[in-house]
Amino acid sequence: MNAIERYFGINGSNTTVKTEILAGLTTFLTMAYIIFVNPNVLADAGMDKGAVFVATCLAAAIGCFIMGIYARLPVALAPGMGLNAFFTYGVVLGMGYTWQAALGAVFLSGVIFVLLSLFKIREWIINAIPMSLKQGVVAGIGAFLAFIAMQSSGVIVGQDATLVALGDMKAFSPMMASLGFIVILGLAYKKVPGAVTIGILLIAVISLLMGQTQFTGVISTPPSIAPTFMQLDIAGAFDVGMISVIFAFLFVDLFDTTGTLLATTSQAKLVDKEGNIPNIGQALLADSTATVAGSVLGTSSTTSFVESVSGIAAGGRTGLMAVTVGVLFLLSMFFAPLAGMIPAYATAGAIFYVAVLMLGVLRDIDWQDLTEAAPVTVVLLFTPLTYSIADGIALGFITFTALKFITGKFSDITIAVWVLTIVLLAKIVFL
């Protein structure tokens, strides 16, 4: 135990092994949905659902272990939701490529990630982001999380005239999500340890007792991974038409990961005064390596999960939290029925609570300076409204550069910001 505490710097981070494990459990509960959703999405591309289930668990575990042990940060990884949708509905069903070729594109984008990480280009990109935009990204992801939580629990629903509307708050799902949110807030205000985890488990138990969740058993044998393992078609990914696909994977994962790392490390108070992330090089290499491993196993791009902030809210501060999540992903291959009994509305309250915490960074924005306030507002609003962290960041960058330029504040626009703005503008226009 002492060796673990020394390696992860438990004492120096004002935490305990017990707290880190509890935080890992909390994080896993908020992102466990991916082991069920990801196979369903990729099955639409023609992939074997059981094999993708196992590949999802393994890719997530590998990413978490590398992040926790190598980067020593409290950030969990798993196949990304937006990326798997692009894989299936954009590349395979939309463009007509095979899922094997799509996996090849994921592999190549991952290799590019690794190279960018080794040469510190990604680290340079993230550290070059202005502090106000970093805070805007954190707030934007907070708003995005709130939107996801409300949508998944039925608090808000789709509506033709206004796009969204208030759902039926008398229905079980919205009621439980709201109850979980209030319980977590109350416990957190009273500084009860494990408040987030308690709230999630309480709603899950109520759901089970009310017959809304069925007890489906505890243990099952993991399906075979053979149908997807090493099935990627790298040669097929070299098709001229796949160039834009590879770069789309690259851009989305780059900025999703950037936003997530900024959000999670800021919430954990691990960033310095300039907003720079500790061990950023190792963290980026962990993310890119996990993407390569996931493509070999048979799943879409693996990326850092913003749900990690729920574990941070529960006290997680070190890589031990990420390692705990990795272990739970491995165990989930055998306990799939049990993990499946945590409904989305049981975690919605926790996610919304985390959103409240993340929006707190807005207090540090200079709202009197429109060249600072406007880009932050763009990121804050467009991240949830476009349902894309990457698009929110891109539009915020473009707004920042344009405003600084037309107001004559040229010194605020670094070379890195110019380059990123041009690249992001080109992505929006041409991809």
pLDDT digits (tens, 9 = 90+) for 7-32: 888 877 778 889 999 999 989 988 88
| Structure tokens that stand for 90 in this block | 């954009």
Q: Is the pLDDT of residue 431 over 70?
A: no
Distance CA 412, CA 415 (A): 10
Half-sphere exposure of 222 (CA within 13 A, CB side): 18
CA distance 364 to 134: 11
Where exactly are the structural domains of the chain?
9-150+220-341, 365-431
Measured CA distances, 224 to 49, 53, 106 (Å): 10, 9, 22
**What's the confidence (pLDDT) of residue 381?**
94
Q: Tell me how far apart the alpha carbons of residues 270 and 261 are, in angstroms, rounded to a whole number.
A: 11
**Residues making up the chain, counted from first to last:** 431
Confidence (pLDDT) at 339: 60
On the question of pLDDT at 242 being above 70, the answer is yes
Q: What percent of the chain has pLDDT over 90?
A: 36
Looking at residue 302, its pLDDT comes to: 92
Mean pLDDT taken over the chain = 86
Report residue 123's pLDDT band, with 50, 70 and 90 as the boundaries.
low
pLDDT the model gives residue 322 = 94
Between 245 and 366, name the one with better pLDDT. Answer: 366
Q: What is the mean pLDDT of residues 97-122?
A: 88
Q: What is the mean pLDDT of residues 335-357?
A: 79
Residue 117 has pLDDT above 70, yes or no: yes
* pLDDT tens digits, one per residue of 324-341: 999 999 998 987 676 667
CB 332 within 8 A of CB 58: no
Q: What mean pLDDT is predicted for residues 208-221?
A: 84
User: Which two tokens mark 404?
Assistant: 């600084």
Decide which of 61 and 358 is more confident. 61
**Beta bridge mates, 163:** 159
* Stretch 163-178: mean pLDDT: 94
Q: Where are the alpha helices (DSSP H) in 210-318?
A: 234-237, 243-267, 280-297, 308-313
Burial 279-294 (b: 16+ CB within 10 A, else e): bbbbbbbbbbbbbbbb
In this model, does residue 260 exceed pLDDT 90?
no
* Residue 231 confidence class, pLDDT cut points 50, 70, 90: very high
User: pLDDT tens, 44-97?
Assistant: 899 998 899 999 999 999 999 999 999 899 999 999 876 887 788 878 988 889
pLDDT digits (tens, 9 = 90+) for 138-156: 888 888 888 888 988 899 9
* Token output for 336: 């799939």
